[in-house]
Amino acid sequence: MPELSDAERTRSTPPFGVAEVTGPSMVPTLYHGDRLLVHYGARVRVGDVVVLRHPFQQDLLVVKRIAERRDGGWWVLGDNGYAGGDSTDYGVVPDELVLGKVRFRYRPRKPAQRSPLALLAWALSAARPVFSSDRSASRRLRAR
C-alpha cells in the first residue's frame, strides 16, 4: 500500500480521537481504563502527555509524557517510575512517531458506584483536562 503524502494524511485524519489507557505506567495522572481525548497533529512540547507509536512495535500505541528534546527526537517517560516501558527502555522517539497531544481524560463509572454519594464523587472527578508536567507528579521524573 502506498504511503500518504503529508497533505493527504492531514485531510484524511480527524483532528481529534479517543484512546483508552491500559496499564499503570502513567499513574497517578492516568489510570487503567481511562479514556483520552487526543489532538492528533498538535504541536508538542516538554511536559505534554502524548500518544505515540512504540519505536520497536509500531502497531502498538503508548501514552507517555515528554521529558526533554534530544538529538533525533523526544525523550519520553511514564509518570510511574516503577512501571517502565518508556525511553529508558527504547531510547529517543523520533518526531514522526509522536501522533498527538492528550487534552482531556475521562474515567468511566464503575458498576459499584450506585449510591448518591458515590455518583457525586465520580461526577466531580471523572472528567479533567490533562496538564503539562508543571501541575503533575511527574515533575520529579524530569530530573533523571
Residue-wise pLDDT for 32-61, tens only, equals 999 999 999 999 999 999 999 999 998 999
Q: List 106's β-bridge partners, or say none.
A: 35, 127
Residue-wise pLDDT for 115-127, tens only, equals 889 888 888 888 8
| Distance (Å, whole) CA 37 – CA 101 | 9
Burial 18-37 (b: 16+ CB within 10 A, else e): ebebebbbbbebbeeebbbb
All three cell numbers of 46: 516538554
> In the chain, which residues have pLDDT < 70?
1-13, 133-144
Of 111, 5, 89, give the one whose Cα is nearest residue 64: 89
Specify the pLDDT at position 103.
95
